[in-house]
Chains A and B, each alone.
Chain A
Amino acid sequence: MRILWRILLAIGLPVVLVAGWWFDSAGSEDFYQPALSTIVDAFGRTWTWEMFQEQVFPSLWRLLAGYFLAVLLGVALGALIGLSRSSRQVLEPVLEFLRAFPPPVLVPIAILLAGIGDRTKILVIVFGCVWPVLLNTIEGVRARDEVLSDTCRTYRITGLLRLRHLVLRAASPQIVTGARQALPLAIILMVISEMMAANEGLGFTVLQFQRGFQIPEMWSGVLLLGLIGIVLSLLFRLAERSLLGWYHGQRAGQREF
């Protein structure tokens, strides 16, 4: 019963908003803002299995490749910087400088260097997504518990065991926070890079529709991007739940006592 109620609460507002859009736009004569029913109609016609294979899957592949590379890189660099004071002193100014670039500005440069293939787009996504993961990992690794560190030292838990059980697991709540912030960034950068330089992909397709005055189709592409965002964040939550079960359990326990 409670689960049902929670689901109702979660989807209540979206349902109201979509219904509002549906009735408000019904019978719309505006060429640029077609009725939602027209858009939904176009959605069914446009996004066929073939379209998915040709346009959507390549985008998703770049999105996921870029995202996971960014998380990997962010965690590895973050652990290094969080653990070693000297590496922090050497790397921090450079990282601050690099972080100041808006990632889309890299697209023209990356095109010159790497062409308009997958590599350019993955590079741009990595460059944009690595920062929240990196900064949160550094904070998490630096904030590891002193008593737990002492425990590792007295029981001679060193090397990889220490890295895994003390450094990374202790930082995992922060790492997950960073990864959660990076996820929408990855989608944004995927679309932008495809709008600037591509001959396929979701961003490219939406732009093509707009330029070809296929307005309902364009809207349907935007809708699809939104849906992809929702699905990815749901998947993220599932992964988080299994990874951070201990963390939420511990916090729930602390509230009880």
Chain B
Amino acid sequence: MLEVKNLHKVYDGHGRRVTAVGDLTFSVPEGQFACVVGPSGCGKTTLLRVLAGLLPATSGEVRVQDAPVTAPPPGLAVVFQEYGRSLFPWLRVRENVELPLKAQGMARAERRKLAADALAAVALSDADSAYPWQLSGGMQQRVAIARAIAFQPKVLLMDEPFAAVDAQTRADLEDLVRSVWQRLGVTLLFVTHDIDEAVYLGQRVIVLSASPTTVAEDLTVDLPADRDQLTTRSDPRFTELRSQVYARIRKVKAPASEGAPA
């Protein structure tokens, strides 16, 4: 469960104040798959970093699992956009997945099993003793997803995780995330700038306005739960929803000023 109430974030530095998030309020119920889209520079990443407890809010409140966030909350995992920089290059794939469990003081055998299961879930069992830099970009991001799975979070945040992979890999990873979410039953907040991706993945799409950010539109995606790259994307309802989101984003983008950090 995620709650954001009147979140406001101002970056203050070098004599320049930049409002990254204006006034944001929404909540994501337990187990929901919510996508956040918005024009570039609308503070999506800022929102995610505040939710993850990596960045303090200027004002307003953020709660994860009913506890106010002041530091990285327990039971929350993040998959970052920069997979190449979020994996430890000096650790093998399996060790990367196991490290957060080791930090919890989990016994070796249990760690091994969770890591093996998580790597199997992302179809990377064969690569467990490779180093991350020996893998392709899409595979590296799958390792990062496996690490999040093994961590057994209640809430999973993903920050444009597929922005840097090719289209084919991207489609595969989207389906992977859907299946992981269905299996784990986590609350998932997925930040993206890709409208099609948001509609295809989520049960709900939250459209943010340009900076100073507010919720411009909150849309329920009433597509069937079983989604498929071919049939879902050619579903008339899918087209309708994506046009709706697209129109909304064009509208919020138009009068906005540029220059806020992403």
Chain A residues close to B by CB (< 8 Å):
145-148, 150-151, 153-158, 161, 165-166, 169, 172, 246-247, 249-250, 253-254
In Å, the complex CA distance between A151 and B159 comes to: 13
Asked if B104 contacts A154 (CB within 8 A), the reply is: no
Asked if B90 contacts A154 (CB within 8 A), the reply is: no
* Chain B residues, CB < 8 A from A150: 49, 52, 54, 78, 80, 86
In Å, the complex CA distance between A36 and B83 comes to: 59
Using known A-B contacts A169-B88, A246-B89, determine if residue A151 contacts B80 with beta carbons closer than 8 Å: yes
Q: In the complex, what's the smallest C-beta–C-beta distance from A181 to chain B, in angstroms?
A: 22
In Å, the complex CA distance between A146 and B100 comes to: 17
A169-B90, A250-B133 are known contacts; what are 19 more A-B pairs with Cβ within 8 Å?
A146-B85, A147-B82, A147-B86, A150-B78, A150-B86, A151-B80, A153-B54, A154-B78, A155-B77, A155-B100, A156-B100, A157-B99, A157-B103, A161-B103, A166-B88, A172-B90, A250-B131, A253-B133, A254-B133
Q: Mark B44-57, 1 if CB is under 8 A from A, else 0.
A: 00000100111000
* Chain A residues, CB < 8 A from B49: 150
* Chain A residues, CB < 8 A from B90: 165, 169, 172, 246-247
* Chain A residues, CB < 8 A from B88: 148, 165-166, 169
Q: Give the dominant DSSP class at A's interface.
A: helix
Who on chain A is nearest to B85 by CB?
A: A147
Who on chain A is nearest to B100 by CB?
A: A155
Number of B interface residues in the complex (CB < 8 A): 27
**What would 15 A/B residue contacts be, using CB atoms closer than 8 Å?**
A146-B85, A150-B80, A153-B53, A153-B54, A154-B54, A156-B103, A157-B103, A161-B102, A161-B103, A165-B88, A165-B91, A169-B90, A250-B89, A250-B133, A253-B133
Chain B residues close to A by CB (< 8 Å):
49, 52-54, 72, 74, 76-78, 80, 82, 85-86, 88-91, 99-100, 102-104, 131, 133-134, 147, 151
Asked if B89 contacts A155 (CB within 8 A), the reply is: no
Asked if B103 contacts A158 (CB within 8 A), the reply is: yes
Q: In the complex, what's the smallest C-beta–C-beta distance from B184 to chain A, in angstroms?
A: 17
* Chain A residues, CB < 8 A from B151: 155
Asked if B72 contacts A156 (CB within 8 A), the reply is: yes
* Chain B residues, CB < 8 A from A147: 80, 82, 85-86
Q: In the complex, what's the smallest C-beta–C-beta distance from B146 to chain A, in angstroms?
A: 13
* Chain A residues, CB < 8 A from B52: 150, 154
In Å, the complex CA distance between A163 and B76 comes to: 22
* Chain B residues, CB < 8 A from A166: 88
* Chain A residues, CB < 8 A from B54: 150, 153-154
* Chain B residues, CB < 8 A from A249: 131, 133-134
| In-complex Cβ contact of A154 among B77, B91, B99, B131 (8 A) | B77
